[in-house]
Structure 1
Amino acid sequence: MTTTSRAGRPKASSRETLAEAACELFLERGYDATSVADITQRAGVSRSSFFNYFSSKSDVLWSGLDARIDGVGAALGELGDRADAAAVRSILVDALRGFAPDPLALALRNRTAMGLDDELTRDSALRLARLASIVASAASASGVPRIRADVVGAAHAAAVLSSLRAWAEQGAGYSAPETVLADALSSLDDLRWG
């Protein structure tokens, strides 16, 4: 049984409803001019419901990718000292498999219209640093010297974030994000793991 919170729109989940409302408002008003209260009002849910799903307005955009980065960290942690370039790249590509258009993809594609240029630059840098650290730790655990591990981690993280941006900008129907990432990672072939 579906209920409607707004005319013509079946209520999916509060998370989806909140994300949709946020993206609509970011397009209409811009990111900075949109408050959490505006989002909850548009979605027809309470403020506490918003914070059950998201820690901040920015989290609406990033929560999907953050969960995938958490998954990468867990998978690489399981590899331990057995991590090598092929295994790490496979885990990274798998992390983007099935990445459907979401609030982040919409934001990357419409960053200027949504007033998100500065926000996405800042928040992308945080995810880039986090993912680089995860990959560098895996490289280091497998015996790669620390400086090389840091360089390898940064390069692989940059490939992931850049691939997501390129995929979103070209439109979700053009190719799959994991395909864009696999192509980007192939450009790192000269960057030896060990």
Structure 2
Amino acid sequence: MKSTGRAGRPKASSRETLAEAACELFLEQGYESTSIAEITRRAGVSRSSFFNYFTSKGDVLWSGLDARIDEASEALDALGRGASDADVRGILLDAVREFAPDPLALALRNVAAMGLDDELPRDVGVRQARLAAAIARAARTSGIGEVRADILGAAYAAAVLSSLRVWAEQGAGRAAPESVLREALDVIGDLRWSR
């Protein structure tokens, strides 16, 4: 009989087990001090199993949001010339809808404890830039000028990433992330989508 590596816990997918092990280690000894070998050892899986699910240690935190950004980018690209403020906001709200507490939410809430003071802002910036580029592209396709499109992309993307951070810091189970994003989008209400 093969051991699951953790007595008393229900068997979870290797992905979930790896994410849980990584977060435990990040909290115990910090992000930088945690190796992939330690994560796989704690999870009771092989190194190759880790790379079946994640490309790097940081991917453990970001893979869920990265998939949502990819989906949102595809949906934004599909809007074409008829893209409207309501369409874009709807896509962004869908991107955070039912965003359950996950490794990223835990990291956003425990930046100092996990030793992510340098890592997290850089990684947030990468995701914000990716999302901003997709939003700006949709704006330009709909006929909005370059400068306004770039500003809209930057503002809307900042609203998404900021609302996820605030949601996580407040306690991810307290409110739905889309309600926090709605409030953030209201703050940028003067930057309505227009040609």
Q: CA deviation at 1:4?
A: 3.1
Q: Which amino acid aligns with 1:84?
A: S
Moved segments of 4+, more than 2 Å: none
CA contact (8 A) 2:75 2:91 kept: yes
| 1:158-173 → structure 2 map (5 Å cutoff) | 158-173=158-173
CA contact (8 A) 1:81 1:141 kept: yes
CA contact (8 A) 1:131 1:153 kept: yes
Task: Write the distance in 2 (CA, Å) between the matches of 1:93 and 1:69.
Answer: 11
Q: In the TM superposition, what whole-angstrom CA distance separates every residue of 1:75-113 from its partner, at most 9, and x where no partner exists?
A: 111111111111000110011000000000000001100
Task: Write the distance in 2 (CA, Å) between the matches of 1:98 and 1:174.
Answer: 13
Q: Which amino acid aligns with 2:182?
A: A
Specify the alignment match of 1:75 in structure 2.
Answer: 75
Specify the alignment match of 2:148 in structure 1.
Answer: 148
Specify the alignment match of 1:19 in structure 2.
Answer: 19
Task: Write the distance in 2 (CA, Å) between the matches of 1:110 and 1:84.
Answer: 37
* TM-score, normalising length: structure 1: 0.97
Specify the alignment match of 1:96 in structure 2.
Answer: 96
Q: Structure 1 vs Structure 2: percent identity of aligned residues?
A: 71
| 1:1-150 → structure 2 map (5 Å cutoff) | 4-150=4-150
Task: Write the distance in 2 (CA, Å) between the matches of 1:112 and 1:86.
Answer: 37
* TM-score, normalising length: structure 2: 0.97
Where do 5+ consecutive residues of structure 1 fail to align? none
Task: Write the distance in 2 (CA, Å) between the matches of 1:134 and 1:122.
Answer: 19
CA contact (8 A) 1:5 1:11 kept: no
| SS in structure 2 of the partner of residue 6 of structure 1 | coil
CA contact (8 A) 1:99 1:177 kept: yes
| SS in structure 1 of the partner of residue 58 of structure 2 | helix
Q: In the TM superposition, what whole-angstrom CA distance separates every residue of 1:23-43 from its partner, at most 9, and x where no partner exists?
A: 000000100000000000000
CA contact (8 A) 2:4 2:44 kept: no
Q: In the TM superposition, what whole-angstrom CA distance separates every residue of 1:9-68 from its partner, at most 9, and x where no partner exists?
A: 222100000000000000001000000000000000000000000000000000000000
Specify the alignment match of 2:176 in structure 1.
Answer: 176
* RMSD, matched Cα: 1.1
